[in-house]
Structure 1
Amino acid sequence: MADPGTAQEEAREPHVVAIAAALLAFYELLEPEVLGRLADGLKNLIPSLWSARLTEAVVEPLLDAGHDLGERIAAEISDEPVFDPSTLDAYLEQMAENYGVQHVANLREMVNEAAREVEAEAEAEVARLLQAEKDRAEQVATEQVNKVANFAGLDAAKAEGMTTKTWHTGPNSRATHAAQDGLTIGIDERFPNGQRFPGSPAPPEETANCNCDLTFGTEDS
Protein backbone atom coordinates (compact mmCIF):
# COMPACT_ATOMS: atom_id res chain seq x y z
CA MET A 1 0.00 0.00 0.00
CA ALA A 2 1.34 3.43 -0.94
CA ASP A 3 1.57 5.83 1.95
CA PRO A 4 2.23 9.59 1.69
CA GLY A 5 4.13 9.36 4.99
CA THR A 6 6.38 11.96 6.56
CA ALA A 7 8.02 12.81 3.24
CA GLN A 8 4.67 14.03 1.99
CA GLU A 9 4.08 16.02 5.17
CA GLU A 10 7.42 17.76 4.73
CA ALA A 11 6.68 18.38 1.05
CA ARG A 12 3.48 20.21 1.98
CA GLU A 13 5.19 22.81 4.17
CA PRO A 14 6.57 25.11 1.42
CA HIS A 15 3.15 25.12 -0.19
CA VAL A 16 1.56 26.14 3.10
CA VAL A 17 4.08 28.97 3.32
CA ALA A 18 3.37 30.08 -0.26
CA ILE A 19 -0.41 30.11 0.15
CA ALA A 20 -0.21 31.88 3.52
CA ALA A 21 2.01 34.53 1.91
CA ALA A 22 -0.52 34.97 -0.92
CA LEU A 23 -3.32 35.43 1.60
CA LEU A 24 -1.35 37.99 3.59
CA ALA A 25 -0.54 39.92 0.41
CA PHE A 26 -4.25 39.93 -0.44
CA TYR A 27 -5.15 41.33 2.97
CA GLU A 28 -2.51 44.03 2.63
CA LEU A 29 -4.32 45.22 -0.51
CA LEU A 30 -7.77 44.78 0.97
CA GLU A 31 -7.35 46.57 4.29
CA PRO A 32 -6.75 50.15 3.04
CA GLU A 33 -9.62 49.75 0.56
CA VAL A 34 -12.03 48.62 3.26
CA LEU A 35 -10.97 51.25 5.78
CA GLY A 36 -11.04 53.97 3.12
CA ARG A 37 -14.58 53.08 2.14
CA LEU A 38 -15.62 53.10 5.78
CA ALA A 39 -14.14 56.56 6.21
CA ASP A 40 -16.22 57.69 3.22
CA GLY A 41 -19.36 56.13 4.68
CA LEU A 42 -19.29 53.14 2.30
CA LYS A 43 -19.40 49.86 4.19
CA ASN A 44 -19.60 47.28 1.40
CA LEU A 45 -16.78 45.51 -0.33
CA ILE A 46 -17.20 45.11 -4.08
CA PRO A 47 -17.60 41.30 -4.21
CA SER A 48 -16.76 40.71 -7.87
CA LEU A 49 -13.56 42.78 -7.68
CA TRP A 50 -12.19 41.30 -4.48
CA SER A 51 -13.22 37.71 -5.15
CA ALA A 52 -11.36 37.92 -8.47
CA ARG A 53 -8.30 39.32 -6.72
CA LEU A 54 -8.36 36.59 -4.07
CA THR A 55 -8.77 33.92 -6.73
CA GLU A 56 -5.82 35.36 -8.63
CA ALA A 57 -3.73 35.40 -5.45
CA VAL A 58 -4.22 31.74 -4.58
CA VAL A 59 -4.62 29.96 -7.91
CA GLU A 60 -0.94 29.66 -8.82
CA PRO A 61 0.24 28.37 -5.41
CA LEU A 62 -2.68 25.90 -5.42
CA LEU A 63 -1.68 24.65 -8.87
CA ASP A 64 1.95 24.37 -7.78
CA ALA A 65 0.92 22.37 -4.73
CA GLY A 66 -1.30 20.04 -6.70
CA HIS A 67 1.31 19.33 -9.36
CA ASP A 68 4.12 18.79 -6.88
CA LEU A 69 2.23 16.63 -4.41
CA GLY A 70 0.46 14.60 -7.08
CA GLU A 71 3.74 13.85 -8.82
CA ARG A 72 5.35 12.85 -5.53
CA ILE A 73 2.58 10.41 -4.69
CA ALA A 74 2.64 8.94 -8.21
CA ALA A 75 6.40 8.44 -7.87
CA GLU A 76 5.93 6.68 -4.53
CA ILE A 77 3.40 4.31 -6.10
CA SER A 78 5.23 3.53 -9.33
CA ASP A 79 8.82 3.48 -10.57
CA GLU A 80 7.51 4.68 -13.94
CA PRO A 81 4.58 6.95 -13.14
CA VAL A 82 2.11 7.86 -15.88
CA PHE A 83 0.25 10.51 -13.88
CA ASP A 84 -0.22 13.81 -15.75
CA PRO A 85 -0.53 16.69 -13.24
CA SER A 86 -2.26 18.92 -15.80
CA THR A 87 -5.38 16.78 -15.30
CA LEU A 88 -5.75 18.55 -11.93
CA ASP A 89 -5.82 22.06 -13.32
CA ALA A 90 -9.52 22.54 -14.00
CA TYR A 91 -10.46 21.30 -10.52
CA LEU A 92 -7.83 23.43 -8.79
CA GLU A 93 -8.75 26.53 -10.77
CA GLN A 94 -12.40 26.03 -9.82
CA MET A 95 -11.36 25.43 -6.21
CA ALA A 96 -9.51 28.77 -6.18
CA GLU A 97 -12.51 30.57 -7.70
CA ASN A 98 -14.95 29.00 -5.24
CA TYR A 99 -12.73 29.96 -2.33
CA GLY A 100 -12.42 33.54 -3.62
CA VAL A 101 -16.18 33.97 -4.00
CA GLN A 102 -17.13 32.32 -0.72
CA HIS A 103 -14.45 33.95 1.41
CA VAL A 104 -15.07 37.46 0.09
CA ALA A 105 -18.81 36.99 0.66
CA ASN A 106 -18.04 35.99 4.26
CA LEU A 107 -15.67 38.93 4.68
CA ARG A 108 -18.26 41.34 3.30
CA GLU A 109 -20.85 40.11 5.78
CA MET A 110 -18.40 40.30 8.70
CA VAL A 111 -17.22 43.80 7.77
CA ASN A 112 -20.78 45.08 7.47
CA GLU A 113 -21.76 43.49 10.78
CA ALA A 114 -18.72 44.93 12.55
CA ALA A 115 -19.46 48.40 11.19
CA ARG A 116 -23.11 48.21 12.30
CA GLU A 117 -22.39 46.93 15.78
CA VAL A 118 -19.67 49.41 16.67
CA GLU A 119 -20.75 52.60 14.90
CA ALA A 120 -18.44 54.89 16.88
CA GLU A 121 -15.38 52.70 16.37
CA ALA A 122 -16.14 51.01 13.08
CA GLU A 123 -12.67 51.44 11.61
CA ALA A 124 -10.94 49.99 14.68
CA GLU A 125 -13.34 47.05 14.79
CA VAL A 126 -12.94 46.27 11.10
CA ALA A 127 -9.14 46.57 11.39
CA ARG A 128 -9.29 44.07 14.27
CA LEU A 129 -11.40 41.72 12.17
CA LEU A 130 -8.96 41.87 9.26
CA GLN A 131 -6.02 41.28 11.59
CA ALA A 132 -7.75 38.16 12.86
CA GLU A 133 -8.02 36.96 9.26
CA LYS A 134 -4.31 37.61 8.76
CA ASP A 135 -3.56 35.64 11.91
CA ARG A 136 -5.50 32.70 10.46
CA ALA A 137 -3.61 32.71 7.15
CA GLU A 138 -1.33 29.79 8.00
CA GLN A 139 -4.23 27.71 9.33
CA VAL A 140 -6.27 28.38 6.19
CA ALA A 141 -3.25 27.61 3.99
CA THR A 142 -2.73 24.31 5.82
CA GLU A 143 -6.37 23.36 5.22
CA GLN A 144 -6.10 24.22 1.53
CA VAL A 145 -2.86 22.30 1.03
CA ASN A 146 -4.30 19.27 2.82
CA LYS A 147 -7.32 19.36 0.52
CA VAL A 148 -5.13 19.73 -2.57
CA ALA A 149 -2.78 16.95 -1.44
CA ASN A 150 -5.61 14.49 -0.94
CA PHE A 151 -7.27 15.37 -4.24
CA ALA A 152 -3.97 15.19 -6.13
CA GLY A 153 -3.05 11.96 -4.38
CA LEU A 154 -6.36 10.37 -5.30
CA ASP A 155 -6.00 11.42 -8.93
CA ALA A 156 -2.42 10.19 -9.07
CA ALA A 157 -3.31 6.89 -7.40
CA LYS A 158 -6.05 6.22 -9.95
CA ALA A 159 -3.66 7.01 -12.80
CA GLU A 160 -1.16 4.51 -11.37
CA GLY A 161 -3.73 1.72 -11.16
CA MET A 162 -4.62 1.82 -7.45
CA THR A 163 -8.12 0.53 -6.76
CA THR A 164 -8.62 1.20 -3.04
CA LYS A 165 -8.23 4.12 -0.67
CA THR A 166 -7.97 4.17 3.12
CA TRP A 167 -8.90 7.07 5.38
CA HIS A 168 -6.46 8.02 8.17
CA THR A 169 -7.44 10.58 10.77
CA GLY A 170 -5.10 13.27 12.01
CA PRO A 171 -4.78 14.59 15.57
CA ASN A 172 -7.94 15.74 17.34
CA SER A 173 -10.21 14.49 14.59
CA ARG A 174 -13.98 15.03 14.66
CA ALA A 175 -16.21 12.07 15.50
CA THR A 176 -17.36 11.38 11.94
CA HIS A 177 -13.73 11.17 10.78
CA ALA A 178 -12.58 9.07 13.72
CA ALA A 179 -15.40 6.61 12.99
CA GLN A 180 -13.91 5.85 9.56
CA ASP A 181 -10.24 5.83 10.56
CA GLY A 182 -8.56 2.93 8.80
CA LEU A 183 -11.59 2.23 6.60
CA THR A 184 -10.68 0.95 3.11
CA ILE A 185 -13.14 1.35 0.25
CA GLY A 186 -13.08 1.34 -3.55
CA ILE A 187 -11.15 4.24 -5.01
CA ASP A 188 -14.25 5.77 -6.65
CA GLU A 189 -16.54 5.26 -3.65
CA ARG A 190 -17.55 7.76 -0.98
CA PHE A 191 -16.72 7.33 2.69
CA PRO A 192 -19.57 7.08 5.22
CA ASN A 193 -19.42 10.83 5.89
CA GLY A 194 -20.13 11.44 2.19
CA GLN A 195 -16.67 12.62 1.17
CA ARG A 196 -14.52 11.21 -1.63
CA PHE A 197 -11.33 12.38 0.13
CA PRO A 198 -10.45 14.52 3.18
CA GLY A 199 -11.26 18.12 2.30
CA SER A 200 -13.57 17.30 -0.61
CA PRO A 201 -16.70 19.49 -0.93
CA ALA A 202 -18.86 19.04 2.16
CA PRO A 203 -20.44 21.16 4.92
CA PRO A 204 -17.92 23.11 7.06
CA GLU A 205 -18.39 20.72 9.97
CA GLU A 206 -16.74 18.05 7.81
CA THR A 207 -13.93 20.16 6.33
CA ALA A 208 -12.83 22.92 8.73
CA ASN A 209 -9.38 22.20 10.22
CA CYS A 210 -9.36 18.71 8.70
CA ASN A 211 -5.90 17.11 8.78
CA CYS A 212 -6.83 13.61 7.65
CA ASP A 213 -5.02 11.73 4.86
CA LEU A 214 -5.49 8.90 2.40
CA THR A 215 -3.35 5.90 1.52
CA PHE A 216 -3.89 3.79 -1.57
CA GLY A 217 -3.67 0.16 -2.59
CA THR A 218 -5.20 -2.60 -4.63
CA GLU A 219 -7.68 -5.31 -3.63
CA ASP A 220 -4.90 -7.89 -3.42
CA SER A 221 -2.40 -5.69 -1.48
Structure 2
Amino acid sequence: MIPILIVTRPAPGDTAFMSAITARWTGALRVIPSPLLKIAPLDATLPDAGALVFTSVHGVAQAPRLGARPGTPAYCVGTRTGHAASDAGFAVRIGQGTARELTDLIIATKPAQPLAHIRGVHTRGDISETLRQAGLTCHDVPAYSQTACPLNAEAQQALAGDTPVVVPLFSPRSTTIFEAEGPFRAPVHVIAISDAARTRSLMKSCQVAAAPTLDAMVDATLTCLGALDGADQ
Protein backbone atom coordinates (compact mmCIF):
# COMPACT_ATOMS: atom_id res chain seq x y z
CA MET A 1 0.00 0.00 0.00
CA ILE A 2 1.53 3.33 -1.09
CA PRO A 3 1.41 5.92 1.75
CA ILE A 4 -0.18 9.30 1.11
CA LEU A 5 1.29 12.67 2.09
CA ILE A 6 -1.08 15.64 2.27
CA VAL A 7 0.85 18.92 2.14
CA THR A 8 -1.21 21.55 3.96
CA ARG A 9 1.31 24.39 3.88
CA PRO A 10 0.38 27.52 1.88
CA ALA A 11 2.48 28.77 -1.02
CA PRO A 12 5.37 29.28 -1.39
CA GLY A 13 6.31 27.02 1.52
CA ASP A 14 4.41 24.06 0.08
CA THR A 15 6.80 23.77 -2.86
CA ALA A 16 9.91 23.94 -0.68
CA PHE A 17 8.55 21.24 1.63
CA MET A 18 7.48 18.91 -1.18
CA SER A 19 10.83 19.33 -2.90
CA ALA A 20 12.72 18.50 0.30
CA ILE A 21 10.63 15.36 0.80
CA THR A 22 10.85 14.05 -2.74
CA ALA A 23 14.60 14.71 -2.89
CA ARG A 24 15.18 12.25 -0.05
CA TRP A 25 12.33 9.74 -0.42
CA THR A 26 13.15 6.69 -2.51
CA GLY A 27 9.94 4.69 -2.23
CA ALA A 28 6.55 5.07 -3.86
CA LEU A 29 4.59 8.01 -2.49
CA ARG A 30 1.40 9.82 -3.39
CA VAL A 31 1.66 13.55 -2.64
CA ILE A 32 -1.51 15.65 -2.44
CA PRO A 33 -1.10 19.45 -2.13
CA SER A 34 -4.05 20.85 -0.18
CA PRO A 35 -3.18 24.15 1.56
CA LEU A 36 -5.26 24.92 4.64
CA LEU A 37 -4.45 28.64 4.53
CA LYS A 38 -4.42 31.30 1.83
CA ILE A 39 -2.12 34.28 2.35
CA ALA A 40 -3.45 37.63 1.14
CA PRO A 41 -1.90 41.11 1.60
CA LEU A 42 -3.68 43.74 3.69
CA ASP A 43 -3.53 47.52 3.62
CA ALA A 44 -0.95 48.48 6.22
CA THR A 45 1.34 51.35 7.12
CA LEU A 46 4.91 50.76 8.20
CA PRO A 47 5.84 53.16 11.01
CA ASP A 48 9.25 54.72 11.30
CA ALA A 49 11.38 51.95 12.79
CA GLY A 50 15.06 51.27 13.15
CA ALA A 51 14.66 47.50 12.86
CA LEU A 52 12.13 44.95 11.66
CA VAL A 53 10.87 41.74 13.27
CA PHE A 54 9.89 38.78 11.11
CA THR A 55 8.25 35.60 12.33
CA SER A 56 7.54 34.13 8.89
CA VAL A 57 8.61 34.34 5.27
CA HIS A 58 5.17 35.79 4.54
CA GLY A 59 6.04 38.84 6.62
CA VAL A 60 9.30 39.19 4.72
CA ALA A 61 7.40 39.04 1.44
CA GLN A 62 5.16 41.94 2.50
CA ALA A 63 7.98 44.21 3.69
CA PRO A 64 9.08 45.71 0.34
CA ARG A 65 5.60 46.85 -0.64
CA LEU A 66 5.28 48.58 2.74
CA GLY A 67 8.41 50.59 2.00
CA ALA A 68 10.94 48.71 4.15
CA ARG A 69 14.42 49.73 3.01
CA PRO A 70 17.14 47.21 2.12
CA GLY A 71 19.88 47.25 4.70
CA THR A 72 17.44 47.70 7.59
CA PRO A 73 18.31 45.43 10.54
CA ALA A 74 15.89 42.51 10.76
CA TYR A 75 15.40 40.05 13.61
CA CYS A 76 14.12 36.73 12.24
CA VAL A 77 12.55 33.84 14.12
CA GLY A 78 14.54 31.10 12.38
CA THR A 79 16.84 30.10 9.57
CA ARG A 80 14.32 29.93 6.73
CA THR A 81 12.84 33.32 7.56
CA GLY A 82 16.35 34.69 8.00
CA HIS A 83 17.44 33.46 4.59
CA ALA A 84 14.37 35.05 2.98
CA ALA A 85 15.09 38.35 4.73
CA SER A 86 18.75 38.21 3.71
CA ASP A 87 17.75 37.56 0.10
CA ALA A 88 15.47 40.63 0.33
CA GLY A 89 18.47 42.76 1.32
CA PHE A 90 17.93 43.15 5.07
CA ALA A 91 20.71 42.97 7.66
CA VAL A 92 19.70 39.79 9.44
CA ARG A 93 20.02 38.39 12.93
CA ILE A 94 18.48 34.94 13.35
CA GLY A 95 16.82 33.40 16.39
CA GLN A 96 16.56 29.74 17.33
CA GLY A 97 13.10 29.04 15.92
CA THR A 98 10.61 30.09 18.60
CA ALA A 99 8.95 33.37 19.55
CA ARG A 100 10.46 33.17 23.03
CA GLU A 101 13.99 32.71 21.70
CA LEU A 102 13.46 35.56 19.25
CA THR A 103 12.33 38.01 21.93
CA ASP A 104 15.22 36.91 24.15
CA LEU A 105 17.62 37.73 21.30
CA ILE A 106 16.09 41.15 20.71
CA ILE A 107 16.01 42.05 24.40
CA ALA A 108 19.65 40.99 24.81
CA THR A 109 20.61 43.18 21.83
CA LYS A 110 18.83 46.21 23.36
CA PRO A 111 18.05 48.11 20.13
CA ALA A 112 17.71 51.82 20.83
CA GLN A 113 15.34 52.58 17.95
CA PRO A 114 11.72 51.43 17.60
CA LEU A 115 11.00 48.06 16.02
CA ALA A 116 8.16 46.97 13.73
CA HIS A 117 6.80 43.41 13.71
CA ILE A 118 5.44 42.73 10.22
CA ARG A 119 3.10 39.80 10.77
CA GLY A 120 -0.14 38.09 9.85
CA VAL A 121 -3.52 38.73 11.43
CA HIS A 122 -3.28 35.39 13.26
CA THR A 123 -0.13 35.02 15.30
CA ARG A 124 1.12 33.48 18.52
CA GLY A 125 3.73 34.51 21.05
CA ASP A 126 2.63 38.16 21.47
CA ILE A 127 6.08 39.35 20.49
CA SER A 128 5.35 43.09 20.47
CA GLU A 129 3.83 43.03 23.95
CA THR A 130 6.73 40.99 25.32
CA LEU A 131 9.20 43.52 23.92
CA ARG A 132 7.20 46.46 25.27
CA GLN A 133 7.18 44.89 28.72
CA ALA A 134 10.98 44.70 28.45
CA GLY A 135 11.11 48.46 27.86
CA LEU A 136 11.47 48.41 24.07
CA THR A 137 9.24 50.11 21.51
CA CYS A 138 7.70 47.67 19.04
CA HIS A 139 4.87 48.41 16.62
CA ASP A 140 2.51 45.70 15.40
CA VAL A 141 2.01 45.74 11.63
CA PRO A 142 -0.61 43.15 10.54
CA ALA A 143 0.24 43.03 6.83
CA TYR A 144 -1.46 39.88 5.58
CA SER A 145 -4.40 37.62 6.33
CA GLN A 146 -4.40 33.84 6.65
CA THR A 147 -7.79 32.72 5.36
CA ALA A 148 -8.88 29.18 6.15
CA CYS A 149 -9.23 26.85 3.14
CA PRO A 150 -11.10 23.53 3.16
CA LEU A 151 -9.33 20.37 2.13
CA ASN A 152 -9.65 19.84 -1.59
CA ALA A 153 -11.57 16.94 -3.13
CA GLU A 154 -8.49 14.76 -3.63
CA ALA A 155 -7.43 15.15 0.02
CA GLN A 156 -10.96 14.49 1.26
CA GLN A 157 -11.13 11.33 -0.84
CA ALA A 158 -7.80 10.10 0.56
CA LEU A 159 -8.93 10.75 4.13
CA ALA A 160 -12.10 8.78 3.49
CA GLY A 161 -10.15 5.71 2.37
CA ASP A 162 -8.14 2.97 4.06
CA THR A 163 -4.58 3.94 3.08
CA PRO A 164 -2.41 5.58 5.79
CA VAL A 165 -2.19 9.35 5.40
CA VAL A 166 0.63 11.53 6.75
CA VAL A 167 -0.34 15.15 7.44
CA PRO A 168 2.35 17.66 8.48
CA LEU A 169 0.80 20.68 10.25
CA PHE A 170 2.90 23.84 10.39
CA SER A 171 0.90 26.00 12.80
CA PRO A 172 -1.72 25.76 15.55
CA ARG A 173 -4.19 27.46 13.24
CA SER A 174 -3.63 24.81 10.56
CA THR A 175 -4.25 22.14 13.19
CA THR A 176 -7.55 23.76 14.20
CA ILE A 177 -8.68 23.94 10.57
CA PHE A 178 -7.65 20.32 9.91
CA GLU A 179 -9.39 18.97 13.00
CA ALA A 180 -12.61 20.71 11.98
CA GLU A 181 -12.57 18.71 8.72
CA GLY A 182 -12.75 15.38 10.62
CA PRO A 183 -13.48 12.75 11.67
CA PHE A 184 -11.56 10.74 9.10
CA ARG A 185 -11.84 7.11 8.14
CA ALA A 186 -8.22 6.75 7.04
CA PRO A 187 -5.47 6.14 9.62
CA VAL A 188 -4.02 9.66 9.96
CA HIS A 189 -0.47 10.29 11.17
CA VAL A 190 0.06 13.95 12.09
CA ILE A 191 3.47 15.62 12.19
CA ALA A 192 3.16 18.81 14.27
CA ILE A 193 5.68 21.62 14.14
CA SER A 194 5.33 22.32 17.88
CA ASP A 195 3.46 21.25 21.00
CA ALA A 196 1.03 24.11 20.35
CA ALA A 197 0.22 22.56 16.97
CA ARG A 198 -0.28 19.05 18.36
CA THR A 199 -3.67 17.65 17.45
CA ARG A 200 -6.01 16.71 20.28
CA SER A 201 -8.42 14.81 18.02
CA LEU A 202 -8.52 11.07 17.49
CA MET A 203 -5.73 10.39 15.00
CA LYS A 204 -3.69 7.23 14.49
CA SER A 205 -0.60 9.05 15.77
CA CYS A 206 0.75 12.55 16.37
CA GLN A 207 4.46 13.30 16.49
CA VAL A 208 6.00 16.69 17.31
CA ALA A 209 9.07 17.66 15.29
CA ALA A 210 12.35 17.94 17.18
CA ALA A 211 12.48 21.68 16.41
CA PRO A 212 10.07 24.20 14.84
CA THR A 213 12.00 24.26 11.57
CA LEU A 214 11.51 23.09 7.99
CA ASP A 215 14.41 20.64 8.28
CA ALA A 216 12.97 19.07 11.44
CA MET A 217 9.53 18.77 9.85
CA VAL A 218 11.07 17.08 6.81
CA ASP A 219 13.02 14.67 9.04
CA ALA A 220 9.96 13.77 11.11
CA THR A 221 7.79 13.32 8.03
CA LEU A 222 10.34 11.05 6.35
CA THR A 223 10.69 8.99 9.53
CA CYS A 224 6.93 8.51 9.68
CA LEU A 225 6.72 7.62 5.98
CA GLY A 226 9.59 5.17 6.38
CA ALA A 227 7.86 3.43 9.28
CA LEU A 228 4.66 3.10 7.26
CA ASP A 229 6.54 1.86 4.20
CA GLY A 230 8.40 -0.69 6.28
CA ALA A 231 5.23 -1.91 7.99
CA ASP A 232 3.67 -2.46 4.58
CA GLN A 233 6.46 -4.73 3.32
Q: So what's the TM-score if we normalise by structure 2?
A: 0.28
Q: Which has the higher helix share?
A: 1
Q: Which has the higher strand share?
A: 2
Higher relative contact order (CA 8 A, sep 6+): 1
